[in-house]
Structure 1
Amino acid sequence: PTTVLAYQHFQTFKERLKGLPCRVDYLSRARTSAQAKAAIKGLAEGEVNILIGTHRILGKDVRFKDLGLLIIDEEQKFGVSVKEKLRQLKVNVDTLTMTATPIPRTLQFSLMGARDLSVIQTPPPNRYPVQTEVHTFNEEVIVDAVNFEMSRNGQVFFVNNRISNLVELKALIERHIPDCRVCIGHGQMEPAELEKIIFDFVNYDYDVLLATTIIESGIDIPNANTIIINQAQNFGLSDLHQMRGRVGRSNKKAFCYLLAPPLSSLTPEAKRRLQAIENFSDLGSGIHIAMQDLDIRGAGNMLGAEQSGFIADLGYETYQKILSEAVRELKTDEFADLYADELKADGGVISGEQFVDECQVESDLELLLPADYVTGSSERMLLYRELDGLTLDKDVDAFRSRLEDRFGPIPPETEELLRIVPLRRLAARLGVEKVFLKGGRMSLFFVSNPDSPYYQSQAFGKVIAYMMKYTRRCDLREQNNKRSMLVKDVRTVEEAVCVLQEVVAMQVEG
């Protein structure tokens, strides 16, 4: 997203790939027109193997001979339209987006399974968490922070997002600390001038860099280990985390000072942002901050360009449930002919109708992944979540073989847990909203609306036919307009599945 970061990446790639038959080039507004033309020509002819660039890559004159991989660094800095344009560079290009703080919509895409997400939570060796403190604007705090950093030969970032105030702040620091070397950097400068200032700062020609948020995108200066952010309440959560990430990049203890008005005078959202950034200061906590951001801002419209939505009012789980219900409704109604094969394979439709979207199971049986089988609690939670999303037998078989491969022979209570998947699927096919397996009995609670067409359907006919065949074992009940059937002598999930399989197989006349 910035010329400085693109140049840094270019230098790193050039250094790492030195001596290999690989040509690296970069594009940004900082390059002369002759350099840019040469890079674009080499790209079109396939001579440039790796191109690093800013938004300049989206220029109409940029043509790739054979693009295979697109990597978007600092993804939170690119808008929806820019990311879509990047994807259109080639239809089937592999895309990797990298960021310490994914924007809410990207995070939501990965949480709902539309994109893969991998989290690197292990920090590099000898790194310390950045000590984060919230203060009101105070000359004493600023002077003490700068003096302390200078006393250990370190450097300081001072972020102030109003260009007009930068000169005043420079005068303030120089007045209190006469031997402090201060430089100013912001986006309205000429690219060459800004680059020179950044590189002079990297070379330790200055002690304090007074800048706007241009420093937040990935610049790596290990000697700078204190950052002061003025008017912190005006920044987004990911902005604050990204700027804090500019310090603490070596084996020294780093400090981040957030200067803001008293918390009591801030909006609830601003207060939550500052509290979140102060609380989550551990290394690798970017994903927690992104989750907080998702909670504060909402996830936005999944298919359009709007960046904020009503998810915060509903909660993430409910939003996802409503969304999947709407998609399922369209599949079985308006677009039923398009999805006929898939619906057939799911076994979820009887005579073209499905009366229950989801079936809940409650049980007093021992159904779990034992702690001595899967020892990590977070690993168990991930496995439970994965199992909850399964519907087909082939998926359960694949899940079972993965468990055996990773953890060894499957214990009986886990085998019973795996049988819950076919139980729920069969119950949903029969119009059962809830299944209770308690005290050696199974209770099936049918569609709650007594006027539902379900009660004239073939599915309910099969239930009645089963009950007529086993009158002593079954008992049909109606309480508070809720209809249910009790089946005796069902002591395991395996027996419950056998009962429902028999019901599904019943022949109904007419």
Structure 2
Amino acid sequence: ERLYAILDDIDKTAKFTPVNVPLREGFLDAQQKVAFYTDHQIFDRFYKYQLKKGYQRSQAITLKDLRELKPGDFVTHIDHGIGKYAGLEKVEVNGKTQEMIRLVYADNDLLYVNINSLNRIAKFSGKDGTQPKMNKLGTEAWDKLKKTTKKKVKDIARDLIKLYAMRKAQVGTAFSPDGYLETELEASFIYEDTPDQVKATADVKKDMEAPHPMDRLVCGDVGFGKTEIAIRAAFKAVANGKQAAILVPTTILALQHFKTFSSRLKEFPCTVDYINRFKTSKQIKETLEKVAQGKVDIVIGTHRLLSKDVKFKDLGIMIIDEEQKFGVAAKEKLKALRVNVDTLTLTATPIPRTLHFSLMGARDLSIMSTPPPNRQAVNTELHVFNDKLIQEAVQFELDRGGQVFFIHNRVNDLPQLGGLIQTLVPKARIGIAHGQLDGDQLEDVMLDFINGEKDVLVATTIIEAGLDIPNANTIIINHAHMFGLSDLHQMRGRVGRSNKKAFCYLLSLPLSTLTNEARKRLSAIEEFSDLG
């Protein structure tokens, strides 16, 4: 078009026919006395090469990765699908020796990939421990799989966009500005708010007072006072005559939140109740009836809150604590519940998807990065399992009047480990907690520990999320290499919740025997032990 316009100005008789061919530069044909030009040469532009489709830089394999690949590792070729890496091989092509990557496909078909086309290969990433199905060369299967996957991803994205658009367009409850009750509640907080707490509280209230539904993620390190923000938000809803639901991942946490909420709100006209599996079905039924009649203002519960038989009289706000613990199915149910309900999500270790939504602007984000005053970082050390270390750590903690968590994720071995600690430190009173105990037993053990009647709690990760026992300041995690990063971080967050110096000992097999990833995880958790 630009050429037509220019020629129109200079010489109307000149004619030309554009030919669409990707050429790097023009050339001269001496026999026919014709000069060929490309558009970017005329306009002095840089020619943009069309690269062959490959993986993105972050996914494609690098030479460094190639050195680390072992024969038998699975790799994915963008055009041919999943095959096995079978080493490098020198191959002669047109008289030149070149190094090629050798891939084996189904039925032992071989594929040689030139070392220069590394961007077309990526390391196979799928579920750990399951063998992927190898593709056959020269069939349509891989292309079909790529197409259906692309379609699925698009569908999911479309649904999500629809949901978020609906939420923005929907009219939720616009709560009235703070009354004297809310001000009273904040004044009765025994600690001084950290600057981030002040800001997060203000943000949450502003969202609640706005006409469209709130969807906010409050992200703060373990023990930075996220629960207090939840209490204030829930109470604001109650003060406006609405109900609040608080969803927590574990039974123990439901009990603990119930305690925290009750003690914070005992001076206020507000009823708090909870449902978890510690209660009998009769008790749960009573609670649910009260919720439906509107006699319970704040209800705290595990996934049980998402069941069909839970009906609210007038739900105003839904608070999700530790949302990284809920699966997609639970979240889908939540979505149906909460199109026009204000939602507040609290987490210390957000899942990438949630974080991405927040950064993308589909959700609002508040970050709490200032620790409460007098907080000290948790001293984190990596060790191989040894009795002496356990003995010294437990003894030291008991001598300063504190309590100890000992985490081990095999229920069967807990009594044995309890016995071991008993032998090492005879005066320690030991409790054992795991998810297979009866509701009552588990509750008793936890209460004994919370009330300081037990010194050492030998437990599975059931204690991981959100427990708040300021007097426990040493945690020993056995087989630390078996846990994910978020688990380790959450468990370490159980200690160091007061002004005492806290210790976290990670016990694992010798580092040389661990997988590369496990090594990285442990060194990361040891390295990043600063607050926030």
- TM-superposed CA distance for 1:205, in Å, is 1.2
Name the counterpart of 1:113.
361
Q: What TM-score, normalized by structure 2, do the two folds share?
A: 0.52
In structure 1, how many angstroms separate the alpha carbons of the residues matched to 2:369 and 2:312?
A: 35
Alignment of 1:171-210 (within 5 A): 171-210=419-458
Q: Quote the Cα distance in structure 1 between the aligned partners of 2:489 and 2:513.
A: 22
Matched, 1:228 2:476: yes
Residue 112 of structure 1: CA displacement?
2.5
How do 1:4-403 residues align onto structure 2 when only pairs under 5 Å count? 4-284=252-532
The 8 Å contact of residues 380 and 504 in structure 2, kept in 1 or not, is answered as yes
Give the letter aligned to residue 175 of structure 1. T
Q: CA deviation at 1:168?
A: 1.5
Offset of 1:239 from its aligned partner? 0.3
Q: From the superposition, tell whether residues 190 and 21 of structure 1 become closer, same or farther in structure 2 (CA, over 3 Å).
A: same
Contact kept, 8 Å, 1:159 with 1:211, in 2: the verdict is yes
Give CA-to-partner distance per residue, 1:197-249, whole Å, 9 cap, x none: 01101111111100000011111111100000000111010000000000001
| Alpha-carbon offset, residue 271 of structure 1 | 1.2
3-state DSSP class of the match of 1:88? helix
**Larger CA deviation: 16-25 vs 179-188:** 16-25
The AA in structure 1 aligned to 2:397 is E
Residues 423-479 of structure 1 deviation map (CA, whole Å, 9 limit, x = unaligned) = xxxxxxxxxxxxxxxxxxxxxxxxxxxxxxxxxxxxxxxxxxxxxxxxxxxxxxxxx
The CA distance in 2 between the partners of 1:277 and 1:68, in whole Å, is 38
**Is this contact kept in 2: 1:131–1:256, CA < 8 A?**
yes
Deviations 1:285-334 (A, max 9, x none): xxxxxxxxxxxxxxxxxxxxxxxxxxxxxxxxxxxxxxxxxxxxxxxxxx
- Work out whether residues 250 and 302 of structure 2, in 8 Å CA contact, stay in contact via their aligned partners in 1: yes
Segments of 4+ moved more than 3 angstroms:
none
- CA shift at 1:20, angstroms? 2.4
Alpha-carbon distance in 1 for matches of 2:510, 2:357? 36
Q: Is the 8 A contact 2:318 2:338 kept in 1?
A: no
Please report how far the alpha carbon of residue 135 of structure 1 lies from its aligned counterpart in structure 2 after TM superposition: 0.7
Structure 2: how far apart are the matches of 1:167 and 1:113?
A: 49
Q: C-alpha distance in 1, partners of 2:338/2:324?
A: 22
Which whole-Å deviations, capped at 9, do the CAs of 1:89-143 have from their partners, x for residues lacking one?
2321111111111122212222222222211011111110000001111111111
In structure 2, what is the Cα distance between the partners aligned to 1:268 and 1:112? 32
SS at match of 2:476: strand
The one-letter code matched in structure 2 to 1:173 is I
Shift of 1:34: 2.4
- How far off its partner does 1:17 sit? 1.9
- In 1, Cα distance between the equivalents of 2:277 and 2:460? 19
Between the two proteins, the alignment pairs up a number of residues equal to 284
Q: Which stretch shifts more, 223-232 or 16-25?
A: 16-25
Give the secondary-structure state (helix, strand or coil) at the position aligned to 1:218: coil
| Structure 1: distance between partners of 2:356 and 2:480 | 26
C-alpha distance in 1 between matches for 2:530 and 2:421: 30
Any idea what SS the aligned residue of 1:118 has? strand
**Cα displacement (A) at 1:28:** 1.0
What is the distance in 1 between the residues matched to 2:330 and 2:341? 16
SS of alignment partner, residue 312 of structure 2: coil
Between stretches 161-170 and 14-23, larger displacement belongs to: 14-23
CA distance in 2, matches of 1:110, 1:181: 45
SS at match of 1:192: helix
> Residues 87 and 93 of structure 1 are in contact (CA less than 8 Å); yes or no, is this contact kept in structure 2?
no
- Using the TM superposition, give the Cα deviation of residue 161 of structure 1 relative to its aligned residue in structure 2, in angstroms: 0.1
- Matched residue type, 1:257: Y
Q: Which structure carries more strand by proportion?
A: 2
Give the letter for the 2:362 counterpart: A
Structure 1 distance, partners of 2:498, 2:267, is 29
What percentage of residue pairs aligned between the two structures are identical? Answer: 65
What amino acid maps onto 2:407 in structure 1? V
CA distance in 1, matches of 2:269, 2:395: 48
The CA distance in 2 between the partners of 1:156 and 1:264, in whole Å, is 29
Contact 2:254–2:302 (8 Å) recurs in 1: yes
Q: 2:367 corresponds to which letter in structure 1? A: V
Task: Give the conservation status (yes or no) of the 8 Å contact 1:160–1:210.
Answer: yes
Gaps of 5+ in 2: 1-248
Q: CA RMSD in A?
A: 1.2
Q: Structure 1's 176 and 21: CA in aligned 2 closer, same or farther, altered over 3 A?
A: closer
Q: Which amino acid aligns with 2:494?
A: R
Q: For residues 22 and 112 of structure 1, what CA distance do their matches in structure 2 show?
A: 37
**Which whole-Å CA distance do the structure 2 matches of 1:45 and 1:165 have between them?**
46
Distance 1:158 1:205 in 2: 16
Q: How many angstroms apart in 2 are the aligned matches of 1:184 and 1:22? A: 35
Q: Distance in 2 between matches of 1:175 and 1:49?
A: 49
SS in 2 for 1:109: helix
